[in-house]
Amino acid sequence: MNYVVLDLEWNQGDASKEAQNPEMPFEVIEIGAVKLDADMKNCGEYSRRIKPTCYNTMHFITAKLLHIHRADLENERCFPEVFEDFRKWCGDDFLFCTWGPQDLTELQRNMHYHGVKPFSDGPLPFLDVQKLFSLAFQSGKDRSSLESAVDMMAITKDIPFHRARDDAYYTGEILALIPEKFLSNVSYDCFSIPKDKKHEVHIEFNDYVKFISRGFSDKNKALEDPEVISTVCCICGKPLRRKAVSWFSPNGKNYYSVSICPEHGNMKAKVRLKKTDNGLTYVVKTEKFISEKDVKDLRERADKAARNVKRAEQYQNRGK
């Protein structure tokens, strides 16, 4: 299997000059990629600019950051043609790698806009090199810019940043330096969510499990789903009914709970509610074991969330 390290440059609609198209807020104007083999050796490069068909004026950020002007793109081919060429170059057996999670979502939005055949009809696995870099060399929660990561790793900066191929090159250089054990931390792009229960995604990593649900018509339907709200011990596989902390939400978007396995300890579940472009609600749930101290912290957060709910209710009832 090869790694296709991808970077895109895009133009966004300049609201003062032409209306934004909500189906494609960012129009891809350049695809850059490098291909690494299973030993992380560079074995190919891809670089093409694209003639835009949606936004005819360059946003000032595009012009300033990328130094790309509309006239430069006049003789390029349009997205569907370039994309088919790129897809052929990728081959059949590869895993996408990007710096941060945004590129694959925008690429698929562009594919959808142009009616191009999708990669898959469900979540798309990829390596988020920015995240892997953080797991390997930082706290795991930091998210560095590509250039500061290149500096940290003392990679020679002999080509400029902010051209798609060059950013893909640097991302590939960093990927090659990440210890192999981190490469199993696959991310999933959810531009396409699981189409039904059968296709829902369950993955086990070393120390946590992840679940991506199908789509629901609304938030309440999602939160009623037994699979979403139940917890199973990720060591012994037993369903866990006793809770150290019951489900709570500090913000109405993320939900947390802690369940107890008598044998293996406290398992925290985090449910994130997300929306697709066509308005369906789906859930990304992660579960992992946490320490007694973390349980205590979470219990405090739960109490605080409960107090806030109570205060809001009192405020609402004041006038009655």
User: How far does the chain reach from its first CA to its final CA, in angstroms?
Assistant: 66
Select 190 or 232, whichever has its Cβ closest to Zn ion.
232
Select 207 or 263, whichever has its Cβ closest to Zn ion.
263
Question: How far is it, in rounded angstroms, from Cα 295 to Cα 101?
Answer: 30
Q: Strand, helix or coil at 254?
A: strand
CB of 288 vs Zn ion, minimal distance in Å: 13
**If DSSP states are collapsed to H, E and C, what string results for 85-100?**
HHHHHHCCCEEEEECC
DSSP codes, 202-231: EEE-SSEEEEE---BSSHHHHHH-HHHH-E
CB of 223 vs Zn ion, minimal distance in Å: 25
Interface positions with Zn ion (CB under 5 A): 233, 235-236, 261, 263-264
83 by Cβ neighbours in 10 Å (0-12 / 13-18 / 19+) ranks as: buried
Cβ count near 256 (within 10 Å): 18
Question: How far is it, in rounded angstroms, from Cα 225 to Cα 190?
Answer: 19
By beta-carbon distance, which residue lies closest to Zn ion? 233
CB of 86 vs Zn ion, minimal distance in Å: 46
Select 74 or 263, whichever has its Cβ closest to Zn ion.
263
Cβ count near 125 (within 10 Å): 15
Select 108 or 257, whichever has its Cβ closest to Zn ion.
257
Partners of 283 in the beta sheet?
273
CB of 267 vs Zn ion, minimal distance in Å: 8
Select 22 or 237, whichever has its Cβ closest to Zn ion.
237
Question: How far is it, in rounded angstroms, from Cα 320 to Cα 273?
Answer: 33
CB of 292 vs Zn ion, minimal distance in Å: 16
CB of 234 vs Zn ion, minimal distance in Å: 8
Select 193 or 233, whichever has its Cβ closest to Zn ion.
233
CB of 239 vs Zn ion, minimal distance in Å: 10
Partners of 202 in the beta sheet?
211
Cβ count near 89 (within 10 Å): 16
Select 140 or 262, whichever has its Cβ closest to Zn ion.
262
Would you state the structure tokens that stand for residue 303, as one six-digit string?
């109490």
